[in-house]
Amino acid sequence: MAIPQITTFLMFNGEAEEAIHLYVNAFEDAEILTLVKYSESDDAPTGAVQHAIFRLKDQIFMAIDNVNGVDIDMNPAMSLYVTVDSPLEMERLFSKLKSGGAILMPKTEMPPFREFAWIQDKFGVNFQLALPNQ
């Protein structure tokens, strides 16, 4: 597996595994490539994600759990921009990713897009979903 030279890296506050499973289940073409957790012998919370690599469509992501004891929040200044292939995919991603999160911009027509939405999932990760005019 080749890792791109620039890869999106997400740090969660103890919810990395839950977030990764949400994303892999929300996207049709997705998989967890590696997921390593801290063990009892490590100087970190047992079961926290030490390092994970996962793929959504053709994009590789890395993720960890923050184990330094100080929560670091995500914010909308950084978002994952997703071009969706169909209205069905738009609805599926919008529905799954907004659950427990917030709608920053409701689904709307916004040229040059047939539909566009901006949501923040329950982990604070921001997604811009765009359905191009077909």
Q: What are the residue ranges spanned by the domains of the chain?
A: 8-65, 79-132
pLDDT per residue as tens digits for the range 25-62: 999 999 999 999 999 999 899 999 999 999 999 999 99
Residue 4 — very low, low, confident or very high, per pLDDT cuts 50/70/90?
A: confident
Q: What CATH class does 79-132 carry?
A: alpha beta
Q: Does the pLDDT at position 2 exceed 90?
A: no
Fold exhibited by the domain 8-65: 3.30.720
CB 115 within 8 A of CB 133: no
Provide the 3-class DSSP secondary structure of residue 111. coil
69 CB-contact burial (10 Å; exposed 0-12 / middle 13-18 / buried 19+): exposed
